[in-house]
Structure 1
């Protein structure tokens, strides 16, 4: 598999998403597996898909696993329903799901803060049949302002992400401009200025966006970057995206934050899915 040049890779800071990589292992074993593969940082979707407010022993066990592994938690999703799966996001869904999202805000923020994590991602939520989209958007803005306040309380940024339309056809933010528009609205409504764009190059590529143009226009509003190759959502080098070049463009545009590895390992163990990246650059 083609790999990144050592000099280029060394200029990046990579973090492994433990909700899509190392999933062949129990959750509490994944931080140590990432460390054994040479990584010092990890990120997570909300791990308890059925509970926005898990029992304290569950929180403590995951905190201990991360701490014992000697890795840093760099990003965490707020509760977002079933991921992976058809339920993508809860904050714009009226009724019980929205209430579950609100119940999760302080729990997720406090957990992130306890591990020094400074990025919290809030997935917007699917459109719901029979519900006025304008009503959902109003609810989303209200809940995103709440999320911005929860993140601000612990010194974190709030990330807002665009997904891709083929895989998430009911998710309304399926372009960089759509997601950045919401970022701007949240910052205006909250007055906090801590909402940022999560630039996932895989999702944007599947949507057919001009990635160099996206980087040029929105790098200054970007709080986090995630990558996977396309097609297939595999490791860099398994598809046709020029990820090394795109990350170089991001650096030149001033982005110096973490790059999340949010790809599928395929039919091999996750520990073998990093051969594109020199170990000294992990």
Structure 2
């Protein structure tokens, strides 16, 4: 099994960023892809005006691509923030204001996955209180996701790049998802398995795959080190993706890597053009 045996979605918040946001869906389509995903693109506005939302919706529709994943409001990303939902005060309020807006937008495009980044630990705040706040807000998000037939994704990040982010292992992220499911009874909170972040933490990736593939709602990849395209680093990504399939994961693979020095359209030479466009 090789790279061509999987379905992919392109993250437009890290690839094609040399282009304006509204031009990126068409650029992904021109590169041969049928699906895209996004971080919340309005970092200063959890509740943007409808014309902005509608313009992005039309850009996705006009490009003929499918939106397969959307991050909920996460603060300044890229930037110093790693989510807002566990951050006391204004940031968690901004997250709550965003939840229904983001769910409505995602639902209007048939998107069935919302990613909720947990947020950094805050100096002077009680971690237990942050976790309680996070559970309340994640339950709110899970209910909104359920309303549009979506899963809610919980992601582990890597400690070197996100030293104040508390979820740095597959186990910690899955445990949070379990708590959300216990509170809501919906069962739609799932693990986002980002192989780049886990590898940066030194995780045994084959063991993570074998243990948590059944709990996984989405997978993202980048090579290590450097967060570049497959083949630019040392991760045996083709083998790891084959192992995921063998373990039962049949979802898309999110391409969340840096394109390098050239245009993003030149960053996909590792993947045959015929393998890029599956829209199912």
What's the TM-score, normalizing by structure 1? 0.97
Which residue, 111, 115, 126 being the options, matches 2:105? Answer: 111
Q: Deviations over 1:15-52 (max 9, x none)?
A: 00000000000000000000000000000000000000
Contact 2:4–2:271 (CA under 8 A) maintained in structure 1: no
2:258 matches 1:253: no
- Within 1, Cα distance between the matches of 2:159 and 2:252? 25
- Within 2, Cα distance between the matches of 1:106 and 1:143? 12
Which residue, 237, 240, 245 being the options, matches 1:243? Answer: 237
Q: CA deviation at 1:10?
A: 3.0
Structure 1 counterpart SS, 2:193: strand
Which residue, 220, 224, 229 being the options, matches 1:226? Answer: 220
Which residue, 89, 93, 97 being the options, matches 2:91? Answer: 97
- Within 1, Cα distance between the matches of 2:205 and 2:183? 29
- Within 1, Cα distance between the matches of 2:198 and 2:85? 22
Q: CA deviation at 1:8?
A: 2.2
- Within 1, Cα distance between the matches of 2:2 and 2:54? 37
Q: Give the corresponding residue for 2:120.
A: 126
Structure 2 counterpart SS, 1:234: coil
Q: CA deviation at 1:85?
A: 1.0
Unmatched runs of 5 consecutive residues or more in structure 2: none
2:30 matches 1:22: no
Structure 1 counterpart SS, 2:70: strand
- Within 1, Cα distance between the matches of 2:84 and 2:174? 19
Q: CA deviation at 1:175?
A: 0.6
Q: Give the corresponding residue for 2:47.
A: 53
Which residue, 154, 157, 166 being the options, matches 1:163? Answer: 157
- Within 1, Cα distance between the matches of 2:65 and 2:132? 38
Unmatched runs of 5 consecutive residues or more in structure 1: 1-6
Q: CA RMSD in A?
A: 0.6
